[in-house]
Chains A and B, each alone.
Chain A
């Protein structure tokens, strides 16, 4: 990572270590290198927004953090637990890391409330009543309590994505990963989802967000990271990243999307 331009300081978790620590992460799809040695630290309560052209490895990277993809080299440590083949470690990490997908991926055969209570009841073994009360609180938080008894197919895209956020939050994760959460939404619905994410960031959640919402990144992110061809090419505070980008690739990318 010699060519990465670094500026701004990664905040550090209260216990001294970062919440997420990645060192030299590589991922290969056959002979194609999707990630070519990513180094990134995310501190407690920090919000990192990752931008970059499609195919640059952004999604692959955050999917490695909760082991939806398996990295081939390097280390990923989440809250002191290293991501390895050990299924118990993976389960433990997944319990602490919530994920929101581009296409929502709600379970269509369950109601919104059942979607949200599934994890708490099956993984955290909460009884039905407290799980439902907690789920309703989450649905209040994402402002769709009135949709609790509907099926995902009966909701708008924005409502579905907010339900998906509630589903992830119901596990009381320490970290939230967002994989292009607004890319599949109509413009009007993007705002309602970003509003929820803003509130979440303000409440002190540690977040990694893959997104091209520049307004959101400027306002909420502590750091912005630029991915290109499987490498982290630049990482800076939003002000520096957008006003004074150092790397040629970043300048080109920003000129195309701004």
Chain B
């Protein structure tokens, strides 16, 4: 044994870079699908099932499906009884909506550009395609079914206008850019008004996809702020406010949506003084959907509020923020981003729950799809599969698109939170 240990210099080895992993298709297959006898068996069984399912679906869509029933009733499914000589109005509404939303997004992107913390990678065509494909898929399906030239021209024009507005939005003068939220709200109002004013149709006579969108978007926009207020109320220090909010939430959550819809349809009138104009069934449905969803939104948001550590509130108080500002600037922003997945889940539920309004006599897509199988030309021909597939597609596109956008939002807002 040596008396003293010499300090030795460890020979410095240059790191040779991260290990390279190149996996060929065959190797990937062997490692992941056929790495044991039971995995191989599962792969074969499920592969067969999958192949059969794809074959059967494609055969249904392109060979056996009798799409005439959907094709002939396409306008009915989209706008129901909207006067056929007034169809320019829904198109105009779509243009207004697409252009204002695109302007808004462009202006938001321009506003972020000056801010180094909010940089995002530039919008590439690939990115646009990835975000928009469910909508594009539905549009393509509708165009194929419509078989007309005019809709194709209009959809192309709509896409071009959207793209143009997105680019124009980035070049808006700064004073107008600051008004972008107002612009968006005005666009929404204008889109509704163009359907109604000057000889259009009031929403009490709307139907089809148009009614579905109106009810879903309306209920989402209204129930979100109401739900946030209820959630804050349930945690309020004012006992009366807290009691009202708690009772509301527990009452609404304990009742099926169908009950609320019926109550809206038959009982809402009792709450108005005699002579007061009775709201139309569409408004009643909107109220029922909003009240119902707000109670669930409130519970989701309350969960988010509870997840914020008390230390955050103390830190905000310590710099002198007033109680309302502590909530608005520190607690709510963190609480809401924590519950985005659950919140969007609630809105996806709402989107599909709109199908229930048919029980109070309103005609959204599913209801019309059921009814058209009773038409003289199509009666008793077993066309349920075709019409249900169509209604399912419409609902699925909306739900799937929301789900993907929520994942994107989550990812984006999660930046810096580790």
Contact = CB atoms under 8 A, between A and B. Distances in A.
Contact of B417 (A66, A151, A168): A151
Nearest to A154: B416
Contact of A107 (B316, B317, B415, B418): B316
**Residue of B320, B333, B415 with highest tally of chain A CB at under 10 A:** B320
A78 interface: no
Given A91-B320, A108-B334, A168-B319, A101 B325 contact: no
Given A118-B329, A149-B117, A107 B312 contact: yes
A106 B418 contact: no
A95 interface: yes
Contacts of B320: 91, 94-95, 119, 123, 171
B337 A119 contact: no
B330 interface: yes
B417 A108 contact: yes
B314 interface: yes
Interface in B323-379: 325, 329-330, 333-334, 337
Contact of B319 (A94, A108, A153): A94
B333 to A, nearest CB: 5
A105 B312 contact: yes
Nearest to A116: B319
A108 B416 contact: yes
Nearest to B326: A122
Contacts of A107: 312, 315-316, 330, 334
A152 interface: yes
A103 interface: yes
A6 interface: no
Interface in A85-109: 91, 94-95, 97-99, 101, 103, 105-109
Interface residues of B, number: 24
Given A122-B325, A149-B116, A171-B319, A105 B311 contact: yes
Interface residues of A, number: 31
A164 to B, nearest CB: 8
B417 A109 contact: yes
A81 interface: no
B416 A150 contact: yes
Interface in B380-418: 413, 415-418
B185 to A, nearest CB: 24
Contacts of B149: none
A94 to B, nearest CB: 4
A106 B311 CA distance: 9
Contacts of B319: 94, 98, 118-119, 123, 167-168, 171
B337 A109 contact: yes
B2 interface: no
Contacts of A153: 416-418
Contacts of A119: 319-321
Contacts of B329: 118, 122
A246 interface: no
A111 interface: yes
B13 interface: no
Nearest to A121: B329
Contacts of B333: 109
A137 interface: no
B322 A91 contact: yes
Interface in A37-74: 66, 68
A105 B315 CA distance: 6
Nearest to B315: A105
Contacts of B337: 109
B63 interface: no
Nearest to A171: B319
Contacts of B316: 107
Contact of A101 (B311, B413, B416): B311
Nearest to B115: A149
B318 interface: yes
B362 to A, nearest CB: 41
A164 B311 CA distance: 13
Interface of A: 66, 68, 91, 94-95, 97-99, 101, 103, 105-109, 111, 113, 118-119, 122-123, 149-154, 164, 167-168, 171
30 contacts: A66-B318, A94-B319, A95-B320, A97-B318, A98-B319, A101-B315, A105-B311, A105-B314, A107-B330, A108-B416, A109-B333, A109-B334, A109-B417, A111-B416, A118-B321, A118-B329, A119-B321, A122-B325, A122-B329, A123-B319, A123-B320, A150-B416, A151-B117, A153-B416, A153-B417, A154-B416, A164-B315, A167-B319, A171-B319, A171-B320
Given A91-B320, A113-B117, A151-B417, 19 more contacts: A68-B318, A94-B318, A95-B320, A98-B318, A98-B319, A105-B311, A105-B312, A106-B315, A107-B334, A109-B334, A111-B117, A119-B320, A122-B325, A123-B319, A153-B416, A164-B315, A168-B318, A168-B319, A171-B320
